[in-house]
């Protein structure tokens, strides 16, 4: 269903906001059927598009980088995450991804040291060893689900680096539980109302069972860290266990659980989806793939050299940035006005909600030439300049992704270690469709065959 937009009544004097020429219900149905199509369809209809006639809770799609900057940076204190936090907190609790204002700032402050440069250097060795172990298990010509295997690989990486825990024996079970929580959360996030998780519906039962599976691992690791703290000292879990407030009080176990659940979901599922999109894009773009493998010919992956290797992989980094442009895992960012706010001459009342989509904004032809083509060279040094927040795969402002540097390092080293030995080809010709859940993945997954490089 295509949605047309027209200038709102307000737009007779201020042209930055337009109004969709459909009822709120029609807009909602269009979004349910094809959210990405709706967002791309209204991209050029105005800096901000007003969705219907909701008086109590007016809603807007944000297309302009200037308005994105206002919401995420300049006027950030006037906004909360709203519905997205309410939905995700059912699974991950009150962790970094869902907490607000002062609590969020406090949590970000005590978690930040985990992502310092020196810590990331130590994590790089873990990423490289796990990626090489994965490559060792691959059999040339044998079909695999690249989406499932990337999910399991990144889960193993996050468990070893953030929790100092080996999940090899449980990775399939835990990856499936993560997938169930993601699917159930996405259904709730974009449904007309939030059904209490305690209601015994089939979907809620699947969701609760998945949460129990993840929690059993989390609490098992927490309890072990309390008894044997030494192996965990360099991990996120060790940092959380050692953190004290001004009164000398430690972080409550429930809050540690919430941060670990946050990292389990946000810390690996997004990277797994990104890597799946990249393997797909490489297979579809032979010239890009050839340049990728050419760069890897001159790189030695040896113990102790992971970060040095990471810094040398310039073209691989450009491939990742281009994949983040076309297929951003965080395809949408939701915000809700908490206190009346004025932005660029427009005033918005409390409970006004805003949908910001990196997916659609990254596809603006006025910013990126031939925007639907996969061109990593866009990100070569000096190749182009675009407005701030015309490209923002990791969000921005006080809630920008705390693990962005870790994610870039992880994706780069996995691509290098696996790509140095294999290339991948699809096993069927069905059209690949994006599926916008909590993060953007390939609908139905992706099967490929590895071939020796």
Instruction: Report the alpha-carbon distance of residue 47 to residue 49 in Å, rounded.
Output: 7
Buried b (16+ CB within 10 A) or exposed e, 413-441: bbbbbbbbbbbbebeeeeeeebbbbbbbb
Instruction: Report the alpha-carbon distance of residue 357 to residue 367 in Å, rounded.
Output: 15
**Does the structure show a pLDDT above 70 at 13?**
no
Q: What percent of the chain has pLDDT over 70?
A: 95
Q: 273-307: per-residue pLDDT in tens?
A: 999 999 999 999 999 999 999 999 988 887 678 88
CATH class of the domain comprising 64-452:
mainly alpha
For residue 452, which phi and psi values (nearest 5 degrees)?
A: -65, 140
DSSP assignment string, 310-376 = HHH-HHHHHHHHHHHHHS-SS--EEEEESS-EEETTEEE-TT-EEEE-HHHHTT-TTTSSSTTS--G
Instruction: Report the alpha-carbon distance of residue 18 to residue 382 in Å, rounded.
Output: 35
pTM: 0.93
Place of tokens 């219907």: 52
**Does the structure show a pLDDT above 90 at 11?**
no
**Reported confidence tier of residue 167, pLDDT bands at 50, 70, 90:** confident
> Closest by alpha carbon to 320, among 274, 359, 288?
274
H/E stretch holding 423 reads strand 422-426
Res 178: pLDDT: 92
Strand partners of residue 333 = 356
Q: 190-229: per-residue pLDDT in tens?
A: 887 788 898 999 999 999 999 999 999 999 999 999 999 9
C-beta of residue 359 within 8 angstroms of C-beta of residue 328: yes
């Amino acid at each position: 269903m295509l949605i047309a937009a027209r200038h709102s009544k307000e737009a007779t004097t201020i042209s930055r906001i337009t109004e969709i020429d459909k009822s709120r219900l029609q807009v909602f149905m269009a979004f349910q059927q094809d959210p990405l199509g709706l967002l791309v369809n209204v991209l050029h209809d105005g800096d901000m598009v007003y969705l219907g006639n909701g008086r109590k809770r007016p809603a807007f799609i944000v297309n302009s980088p200037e308005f994105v900057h206002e919401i995420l940076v300049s006027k950030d204190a006037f906004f909360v995450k709203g519905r997205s936090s309410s939905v995700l907190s059912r699974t991950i609790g009150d962790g970094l991804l869902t907490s607000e204002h002062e609590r969020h700032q406090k949590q970000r402050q005590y978690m930040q040291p985990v992502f310092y440069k020196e810590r990331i250097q130590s994590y790089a060795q873990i990423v490289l060893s796990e990626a090489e172990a994965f490559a060792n298990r691959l059999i040339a010509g044998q079909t695999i689900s690249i989406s499932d295997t990337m999910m399991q690989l990144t889960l193993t990486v996050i468990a070893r680096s953030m929790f100092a825990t080996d999940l090899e024996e449980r990775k399939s079970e835990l990856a499936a539980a993560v997938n169930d929580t993601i699917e159930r959360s996405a259904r709730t996030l974009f449904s007309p109302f939030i059904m209490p998780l305690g209601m015994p519906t089939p979907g809620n039962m699947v969701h609760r069972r998945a949460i129990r599976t993840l929690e059993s691992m989390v609490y098992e690791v927490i309890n072990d860290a309390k008894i044997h703290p030494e192996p965990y000292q360099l991990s996120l879990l060790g940092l959380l266990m050692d953190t004290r407030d001004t009164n000398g009080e430690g972080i409550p176990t429930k809050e540690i659980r919430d941060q670990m659940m946050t990292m389990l979901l946000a810390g690996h599922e997004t990277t797994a989806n990104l890597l799946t999109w990249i393997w797909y894009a490489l297979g579809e773009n032979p010239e890009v793939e050839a340049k990728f493998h050419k760069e890897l010919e001159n790189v030695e992956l040896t113990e102790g050299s992971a970060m040095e290797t990471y810094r040398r992989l310039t073209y691989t980094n450009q491939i990742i940035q281009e994949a983040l442009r076309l297929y951003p895992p965080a395809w949408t960012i939701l915000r809700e006005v908490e206190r009346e706010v004025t932005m660029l001459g427009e005033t918005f009342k409390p409970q006004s909600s805003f949908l910001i989509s990196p997916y659609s904004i990254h596809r603006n032809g006025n910013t990126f030439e031939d925007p639907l083509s996969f061109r990593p060279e866009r990100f070569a040094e000096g190749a182009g300049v675009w407005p701030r927040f015309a490209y923002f795969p990791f969000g921005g402002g006080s809630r920008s992704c705390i693990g962005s540097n870790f994610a870039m390092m992880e994706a780069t080293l996995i691509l290098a270690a696996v790509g140095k030995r294999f290339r991948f080809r699809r096993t069927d010709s069905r059209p690949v469709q994006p599926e916008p859940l909590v993060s953007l993945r390939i609908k139905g997954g992706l099967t490929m065959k590895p071939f020796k490089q």
